[in-house]
Structure 1
Amino acid sequence: MADPDDIRGWQRLDAEITTSGRIEDKDVMRLADLGVAHVVNLALETHPEALAGEGDKLAAQGIAYTHIPVPFDAPGEDHFAAFVKAVEEGPRPVHVHCIMNWRVSAFFYRYNRDRRGLAEPVARALMERQWSPEGHDSKEARVWAEFIARTPE
């Protein structure tokens, strides 16, 4: 089955990692058909576009589910550590999503740069397919610019 082109912000990072913005009811079976074994959701379940009962719907298709609610105005190192653990220790292939694929692309920027050893410009180009916090002038964008600038200690 080919990658869907109608899921918001869909992006394939490699053979075992895909990302997107929000998923809808119709996407649950599509992810199963793609062979996705694990979904990681970084969005808040209270967002109006969040898929209600997402974990149960995925479980019904045999897909593991990890929810790491990341407030858009306060991404933290605890969130990033949970994300790394879910991606590295959870079943594969993994699909990671939020609402717009902004949280996810920023998390994968750091992951690709710091854990996978991608050159910074390559990691940044992957992120910028979805968004760049530097391109926005808001409190949240500044928070995300600071988040992606962090490096391992």
Structure 2
Amino acid sequence: MKPSFFRTSITVFLLISTMLMASFKLMSSQKSEPMLDDLRNFQVNTADMVSSGLPTRVHFETLKANGVRNVIDLLPDDRSEEIKLMNALGLKYHNVAVEWKNPTLENFEEYVATMKSFEATGGITLTHCKLNWRGAVFTYLYRVTQLNEPEAIAKKDLDAIWQPDETWQDFIDEVKAKYMSEASE
């Protein structure tokens, strides 16, 4: 790949991301719209992907009004209330139950399959968990392994949310080793 193409691709990506983030900031600052400022660790990852901590109903309504059509919930346990809310709001929903102390390659593979399914139907996909720590890792890994986004850009977003502990760093290394070795075959 030519260096100028690479620079142009990064510039276009950054421009689109900045515009999307500005749209969300503008929307959240308007008095007539519910605010997203209190949505913990809200982050625009790509033009079609956002992540956050646990949203409230008002957050989900605001996100839907701004193009979110799909939700991936990474929390384990009973998610029946969120399922009811997603049905009421008309949002597509999928739960990947990721145990905090035991994220698995199978969890990530389920996430990838769900993201690809949602991408095929369009709209922005929200990935969320309690604090966006799981979400930040999963969106980072998806961007690097599936979207072939430059590591530095995706890692910057992950680092802005949290520094993975040993369990999560081992998970990141395992996923990257699997998908990066597949890419080189």
Query: Which TM-score bucket, shorter chain as reference?
Result: 0.7 to 0.9
Q: Tell me the SS of whatever aligns to 1:145.
A: helix
> How far apart are the structure 1 equivalents of 2:145 and 2:87?
31
Residue matched to 2:95: 67
SS in 2 for 1:38: strand
Q: Is the 8 A contact 1:45 1:52 kept in 2?
A: no
* Equivalent residue, structure 1, for 2:107: 79
User: How large is the RMSD of aligned CA atoms in angstroms?
Assistant: 1.7
1:37 lines up with 2:65 in the alignment:
no
Aligned to 1:89: 117
**Counterpart residue number, 1:138:** none
Q: Mean alpha-carbon deviation: is it higher for 89-98 or for 61-70?
A: 89-98
Q: CA deviation at 1:39?
A: 0.5
Q: How far does the alpha carbon of each residue in 1:29-78 deviate from its partner, in whole angstroms, 9 at most, with x for none?
A: 222212211110001235xxxx7601111111110110111001000011
- Give the aligned residue type for 1:146: D
1:143 to 140, 147, 167: 167
Q: TM-score, normalised by structure 2?
A: 0.71
- 1:79 is displaced (CA, Å) by 0.4
Could you tell me which runs of 5 or more consecutive residues in structure 2 were left unpaired when the two chains were aligned: 1-23, 29-35
What secondary structure does 2:106 align onto?
helix
* Paired amino acid for 1:40: I
1:119 equivalent in alignment to 2:150: yes
The Cα shift of 1:25 comes to 2.5
1:109, 1:148 within 8 Å by CA — same for their partners in 2?
Answer: no
Corresponding residue SS for 2:126: strand
Q: Confirm or deny: 8 A CA contact 2:71 2:125 kept in the other structure.
A: yes
The answer to whether the 8 Å contact 2:69/2:91 transfers is: yes
Detail structure 1 runs of 4+ shifted over 3 Å in the superposition. none
Higher share of residues assigned helix: 2
1:19 correspondence with 2:51: yes
1:38, 1:93 within 8 Å by CA — same for their partners in 2? yes
- Kept after mapping to 1: 8 A contact 2:51/2:139: no
Q: How many residues align?
A: 142
Output the CA distance in 1 between the equivalents of 2:162 and 2:71. Answer: 21
Separation in 2, partners of 1:95, 1:30: 12
Q: Which has the higher contact order (CA 8 A, sep 6+)?
A: 1
Task: Give yes or no for the alignment of 1:53 onto 2:84.
Answer: no
Secondary structure at the counterpart of residue 99 of structure 1: coil
After TM superposition, the structure 1 stretch with the greater mean CA deviation from structure 2, 92-101 or 106-115, is: 106-115
Taking every aligned residue pair, what percent have the same amino acid on both sides? 25
